[in-house]
Each structure stands twice: as structure tokens, then as C-alpha cells.
Amino acid sequence: MRTDWSMDTRIIHSSQSPDPLTGAISEALIPAVAYAFPNAETAAAVVAGDQEGIYYGRYGNPTLRVLEQKVAELEGGEDALGVSSGMAAISIALLAFLKHGDHVLVTKDVYGGTYSFLTSLAPRFGIEFDFVDCTNLEEVKLSVKANTKALYIETPSNPCLTVLDIQQLSTICKQFQIPMIVDNTFMTPYLQQPLLLGADVVVHSATKYLNGHGDVVAGIIVGKKHQIDFMRKKIMGDLGQNLNAWESFLILRGLKTMGLRVQRHCSSAQQIAEFLDAQPSIRRVNYPGLPSHPQHSLAKKQMKAMGGIVSFEVEGGLMAGKQFINSLKLAMISFSLGDPETLVQHPASMTHSSIPAGERLKFGISDGLIRLSVGLEDPADIIRDLAQGLSAITPQMLNETRVI
């Protein structure tokens, strides 16, 4: 592949070329489970990892392999592993570095599914964890224990869009000789490449912007080849978390338009954040593209653009927030993000409901917080929809606050 190509060109052409037999430009869909070998020696070499190849569908397939190589190249990693969901990617990445008796530091502003895994499943494996304010580098250093084996972060975080300094945190991790895992779902490699900033492993919910069409559930992990090989054989394969060929094909198709899609998501989100920031019934807007964002300068340095997610706090708390989203006509209430459609959700009662109310408030997730995944519609139409939704909030609601 040409190394001087821009990202827009690479997302279309990297790791893909016309089929040598048919000339087909689209990637072949190969859902095979079993693969034949010319002799027993070749089969043994592939199973042992001494020779490149696929030997059983639970460990991958040729369509998936193209996707893995493509995302690895876009992220600047040695290899990648495609798995059955974003949570599969997160759990595999954590379990690759953690075992009974180990400890992991986790950014305090984290996706509800990650929180649930850490609080419900990790203790069953004997894994300890602490949530830490990763914007405070000294606090991160002081939180490292003798048995700390990894640092896990999201940046920007879900749903408060806290931006963390990947380079500075990676320096701390290298000082203590622990790997850093970064959830890059909100940014995609188009906007941010954590590995090039010092991270060791990147995870994605490929369900979101990588696929971009709301019709796939998938995850991807990117890192060094020996790490990915271990995850593939000893975690993903043994737990049966493989990604199938059809969904791999759909993500490959979606990736070809990622540049155009992400640019539109970002430009529209900026307009919407500026609109919301001017509304009297909005207490706070979280968007890295606003000068008022605490890490605005860092975001401009670390990210190519500011992403398609805007979160904001409605005055009046729970009742006002629910009235607002129930009044929307264009935006749809949904748990997902990164789709062509504008999607809205209430984190306290939806994606982050597994976090106790007291803990949610520590993480900045109030009952009035709304997360908006800005779609590909005309931004003027989205803004009009938000305006009429805000107009449905009554004065009585603005004076009411209740924690659930």
C-alpha cells in the first residue's frame, strides 16, 4: 500500500484489492467453518502459529482477516482481532493482561457496560479495580499499586466527553511498566490514533462509527501481534467470541464511507453544541469543540476533529430530561450511537443504569444528562427538533430535581 496516501484514501484501499480470480472489487464473503490443508505438516504449522492461515471458524475467517488487517493498518498497530461485540473487545483486552490477584486502574468516567463488567464479573476472577480521575496525572501515579497490571481509559469518555491526555498517561504507564488500553470508539482512527500517542492496545465497538449503519454488532482490538495472537487463541477462541463473515463484510463496506460520514457527524455536532450552549434551559453542554470544555486545548492537539457525540444537562433533572427526549420527533430514543440517524438517550436510566445513583453523580452523570448521537441529517432539521423538544419542558419541571 502507498505510504503517502491520506487517511481518506487509506480507509478505502488499505488491505483490499480486486480478487485475483474474478476481478471483483468488493471483498469476498467467505463464511466457511472448515479449511483444507495440502498435508498434515501444513495443518500443524498453522495451528501452532508457525505459518499464516485459518484452520477453524471459531478463530476467524478470510473476510474477517481482511477487516482485521485493515483496521490494524489504520490504527498503526501490528495486528487486530475482530470479535462479536464491543463488550467482547473490552473484556478480552482486560483479561489478556489481568488474572487472579491483579489490579487495574480505570478512568472514572466510563461506559456503563465496562462498569458492569468490572463490578460484577471481574471480582469473580479475583481481579481488583479502582476508578480514578485520569485528568489528574498525580492521582493516577498515586493510585498505582504493586499488583496494578493495566490502565484502561476512554477518551473522549462516554457520556461526559472528558478528554484524557494519552501521551502523558502513556508516559506514566511506561514508568510503572504497565500497558494502557484505550477505547477509541467515539473517535475512530480517522480522528485519533492512540497507538501513535503511546497506547499499547486500542479497542472499538465496531457496532458504532466503523460500521456506521446500525446493522452490525461487533468489536475490534488492535495491538502488537503477540498480544493479538494470545487473545485470539486463548481468550476469544476458547470463549467463542468470534465475529462472523457477514458482519465483517458489512463493516468493510461501511468503512469505505467512514471519512465522509465522520466529517459530517463532526461538523453537525459542532453546530448543535453551539446551539444548545445558548439555550437558557440547558445547564451545561459537554462537547470538546466548545471553548468552555475543560480539555478544549488538549482536544485540538490530540484529535483531528471533535466527534459526533454531544451530551448536555437539562435544567429540571429527571422529569425535564425525559419530557425533552419524549417530545423529539426526528431524533429517536436508542441505546446506540454512530448511525446515520440522530439518536438520543438518557444515560442515568439507560446505558449507565447499572451504576448506582451515588456513583453516577461522582462520574458526572446527573439525572438531567442527555446524550445525543448526531446523525447525517441536515443539521438545521436536527436543531429545529431539539428546539421544539426544549419548548415542551414546563416551568414547573425546570424547578424539579429528583435522583433515581
How far is residue 275's CA from residue 131's CA, in Å, rounded to a whole number? 33
Question: Where does 123-215 have alpha helices with state H?
Answer: 137-143, 166-176, 188-191
Angle at CA of residue 311, ends 310 and 313, nearest 5°: 145
Helix, strand, coil percent values for the chain (each to nearest 5) = 45, 15, 45
Helices 379-391, 258-277: crossing angle, 10 deg rounding: 40
How far is residue 278's CA from residue 286's CA, in Å, rounded to a whole number? 13
Task: Name the catalytic one among 35, 55, 56, 58.
Answer: 58
Task: Name the catalytic one among 70, 208, 322, 360.
Answer: 208
Nearest to 208 by CA among 312, 309, 305, 285: 309
Contact residues for 249 (Cβ-Cβ < 8 A; gap 6+): 27, 29, 63
Active site residue 183: yes
At residue 173, the 3 state secondary structure works out as: helix
Contact residues for 9 (Cβ-Cβ < 8 A; gap 6+): 2
Active site residue 224: no
Nearest to 83 by CA among 53, 101, 112, 61: 61
Active site residue 261: no
How far is residue 229's CA from residue 231's CA, in Å, rounded to a whole number? 5
Active site residue 111: yes
Residues recognised as catalytic:
58, 111, 183, 208
